[in-house]
Amino acid sequence: MSAENNDENKTQELELWERMSTTEGAERAEVLDELSHIAYRRDAFNECLQLVDTSIDIYFKLGMDSHIKELIHLYEGKAFSLRHLERPAESADTFEEIATLHQINDDTNGYIRAKRAAACDWYDAREWQKSLDGHIAAQGAIDPDATPMSMGTDLLNIGTAQIKLNLHTEAIATFLSARKLFKEVKNPEFVNWADQYLAITYAVLENGPEAKFHAKHYFNYSKVAEDMSMEGFARYRLGIAHLLCQEYEDAERELVSALEQLTLDENKDWEDILGANQALAKVLTALGKEEEANIRLERIATIAETIFGDAEAA
């Protein structure tokens, strides 16, 4: 922001605070709203929340029914401020309030957007059931603007919540439906997302052949896209699938390659790195290389205890 613009904003802010002393009711709420915009633009999100909440209180005292649009606008500012402050449960609750207001206002599109946003934030808050319920509610609303892409994306979100709730059989059906929709609109990137989740979910269900089918598609996409980071994750999933199919030499090759690539990332995904090492140890044991398997497990023991805790690491 230039010095000139900064001075203009300060002048505007001072003028608005001066107006506060001479206004009341809806006009006062509008001034608070304008001040919240200024606070938001300079990343003063806690201040923005205070201003927004005060404005909301005024509108409720004046009568909610006649100020629904203003309240939706204010709650949106509140939700996005809470997101910036990394308070996902509170932002999710706020988006739920927005969804209710859109329902009162007979705005189906607004309701769907708010339910999706709430469900995403519930997921970030690790409230898996609330996330699933929200995505199902968004999917179930009659959306005149629905497209195969939007419907498929809803299904992907539903499936990821189902995985967290250990509803793996249900997640398989969800991801397969999403994959079909993405193929219809010829979107290889999102078909790949579905393949990735299917490879993971089939592996949890110990269905080696299906896990390998989708992991292979995931791997192929990573090669065509020339995405080295993705390739590491794809090789990990492919290695797991080979292990389930008792194709130990193929599993060893993929898991070794996966670790070579996964460990190159600056922001390492330790859970997958540990998972790949543990899977490789099983493969090595199956190949009669128990000493090598034990050395690998000893090397990751402290990291595994740190990431998973003593019980899970054991």
Helix axes 248-262, 228-244, angle to 10 degrees: 150
The predicted structure's pLDDT at residue 116: 97
Question: Domain residues of the chain, as ranges?
Answer: 188-314
The predicted structure's pLDDT at residue 139: 93
Phi-psi region of 107 (alpha: psi -120 to 50; beta: other; left: phi over 0): beta
**CA angle 270–274–280, rounded 5-degree value:** 145
Instruction: Compute the distance between CA of residue 281 and CA of residue 259 in angstroms, rounded to an integer.
Output: 12
Are residues 112 and 141 in contact, defined by beta-carbon separation less than 8 angstroms?
yes
The structure tokens listed for 156 are 């992907």
- Tens place of pLDDT per residue across the chain (314 aa): 555 566 667 778 888 888 887 889 999 999 999 999 999 999 999 999 999 999 999 999 999 899 999 999 999 999 999 999 999 999 999 999 999 999 999 999 999 999 999 999 999 999 999 999 999 999 999 888 899 999 999 999 999 999 999 999 999 999 999 999 999 999 999 999 999 999 999 999 999 999 999 999 999 999 999 999 899 999 999 999 999 999 999 999 999 999 999 999 889 999 999 999 999 999 999 999 999 999 999 999 999 999 887 645 54
Fold category of 188-314 in CATH: 1.25.40
The predicted structure's pLDDT at residue 312: 55
The predicted structure's pLDDT at residue 265: 86
Helices (H), the chain: 3-20, 25-41, 45-62, 68-84, 88-104, 108-124, 128-140, 148-164, 168-184, 188-204, 208-224, 228-244, 248-262, 270-286, 290-308, 310-313
Are residues 98 and 115 in contact, defined by beta-carbon separation less than 8 angstroms?
no
The predicted structure's pLDDT at residue 144: 83
The predicted structure's pLDDT at residue 143: 84
Mention every residue, 6+ apart, whose C-beta is less than 8 A from residue 208. 202, 241, 242, 243, 244, 245, 246
